[in-house]
Amino acid sequence: MTTVRQTSSEEGRRDYLRLELGVLAHIETLEGRKKVEIIDLSQGGARVKLLAPVENIKDCVLVWLGFDTYASIGRREGDELGLVFDVPLRPVIIKKTREMAPRIWRNDSAYLGAIARDFVQGNQGT
């Protein structure tokens, strides 16, 4: 289920509307690949939840649904990162992500099963 959200208090602060997702993805850093959940996505950045511990990082590559982009960490609050993309995403990427997201929600149990299997096998950081 995807929605586009921008509250009135954010209008002066945000350059782009955000697409709420809940899509599994990963970030690639110098330390390796780490699983994340994209909470929301916009042309200018993303808010992601870390699904594995990550040391202090400054830059990464966000990879999701066949797309990828370079990003820097704009903020970190606990297990959530605010990513700022080096180059804004083209609108067509947001559109394709939104089109693909409903299919992912239908297969959510497969993703949760994969996370549970990785946890049991001790592969949380890959």
DSSP H helices, 40-122, are: 91-106, 108-121
CA angle 106, 23, 44 (to 5 degrees): 140
| Res 108: pLDDT | 54
pLDDT(3) > 70: no
| Res 54: pLDDT | 83
For the chain, give every domain's residue range: 3-120
Report the pLDDT averaged over residues 43-63. 93
User: What's the CATH architecture for 3-120?
Assistant: Beta Barrel (2.40)
Nearest residue to 105 via CA among 97, 116, 93: 97
Band of residue 6 on the pLDDT scale cut at 50, 70, 90: very low
Determine the Cα–Cα distance for residues 82 and 92; give it in Å rounded to an integer.
Answer: 22
Name the more confident of 104 and 90: 90
Nearest residue to 72 via CA among 48, 52, 101, 39: 48
Name the strand (E) or helix (H) holding 28: strand 18-29
N residues, the chain: 126
Determine the Cα–Cα distance for residues 63 and 36; give it in Å rounded to an integer.
Answer: 10
